Structure 1
């Protein structure tokens, strides 16, 4: 069975001087990473927002092409209230109550 090496607490390594400077100057430890994340996030969000607006503009140009072709000249205006009343009137007249076949042995006839 192998043995573990005996490493005393607080042993010096390559980054020890840098860590000591970071502890003395909190800007290097907290401020610089924070500013880096804010700047990188700003560029990332700007790219996502630009993509969103480009997609929306592309969709609106398709509608503009339909208008240029004159496709909506003969369309009637849509009113939700009129459609609701029309569907309500149709639903009352065109249905018939039909009893379905019961499975055998269900007890009802």
Structure 2
């Protein structure tokens, strides 16, 4: 196993110019990248969540409303006027009047 080399005091290292710049302007090396990551992440996550919701909407739109309710597409169109005339054409002979017993306590 090798031994560590001793660094004499005052010897310049390879990152000393960078360390001096960091001491003068720490915001440029720490704050600015941090803020850029936060803002970029916000835009990236908004795109991912929008893609997620778009994909889910496409999957749910495949099932049409009529298919979900079990209706046929070839069904008869509903017209209020036609229904009115159909009900008017019914005769009053299709029903029978039936008398029911009164509740107890009522004369």
TM-score by structure 2 length? 0.50
Q: Is residue 2:47 matched to residue 1:15?
A: no
* Distance in structure 1 (CA, Å) of the matches to 2:53 and 2:2: 63
Two-structure CA RMSD over aligned residues (Å): 2.8
* Distance in structure 2 (CA, Å) of the matches to 1:37 and 1:70: 45
- Structure 2 partner of 1:77: none
* Distance in structure 1 (CA, Å) of the matches to 2:25 and 2:61: 54
* Distance in structure 1 (CA, Å) of the matches to 2:50 and 2:41: 14
- Structure 1 partner of 2:103: none
Unaligned runs of 5+ in 2: 73-107
Q: Deviations over 1:38-75 (max 9, x none)?
A: 133123202311221122211221122xx35585238x
Query: Which of the residues 62, 67, 70 maps onto 1:72?
Result: 70
Instruction: Give the greater-gyration-radius structure (CA).
Output: 2
* Distance in structure 1 (CA, Å) of the matches to 2:53 and 2:68: 26
